[in-house]
Copies of this chain bind each other. A is one copy, B any other.
Amino acid sequence: MTLPNLKYTADGLIPAIVQDVKTKRVLMMAWMNATSLEATLQTGFMNYWSRSRQKFWLKGETSGHTQKVVRWAVDCDADTLLFEVEQIGGACHTGFESCFFQAYSPEGTPLEITEEKLFDPEKTYASK
C-alpha cells in the first residue's frame, strides 16, 4: 500500500467525511489515525479512532451498521479525507441515517425533524 503523504494533526489524526455513495447524503465525520486508515483500506470497511474512548473503532462492530468503502479522495491540502460508502442500517448512534439530522434555520432555530429513525438504539446497543 502506497498511501499519499497526508497531514495529520499534532495528535496524529485526520478528519474523514463519510458520504452515502448512492444518495450523496453526508452521513458523519469522524477521525482516523494512520493505523485506522490502513485498516480501512486493507479491509474495505471504515475504521476510526475514537478520541473520547482513545481506541480503534470498526464502524458497526457493535451495531452491525458497517460502511463499505466504494471510493475515497484526499483534499488539496492533504489534511481531510472523503469516503463514499455503502452504509448498512443508519450511520448515527441515535438511530438516524445521518448524524446531521438536526437542521437549523439561518437564524439558528432548530427545525422540526421529519425523517424517521432507521433503528432503535436501545435495542441495537442493548447488552453489547
Contact = CB atoms under 8 A, between A and B. Distances in A.
A71 B110 contact: no
Interface string A74-112: 111100101000000000111010011111101111100
A29 B17 contact: yes
A43 to B, nearest CB: 10
A41 interface: yes
A12 interface: no
B71 A100 contact: no
Interface string A4-39: 100000000001010100011110110000000000
Contacts of A76: 92-94, 96, 99, 101-102
A114 interface: no
A73 interface: yes
B110 A80 contact: no
Interchain residue pairs A-B with the least CB separation, the first 9: A24-B24, A73-B100, A75-B99, A73-B103, A3-B108, A82-B100, A29-B80, A76-B99, A1-B108
Interface of A: 1-4, 15, 17, 19, 23-26, 28-29, 41, 44, 69, 71-77, 80, 82, 92-94, 96, 99-104, 106-110
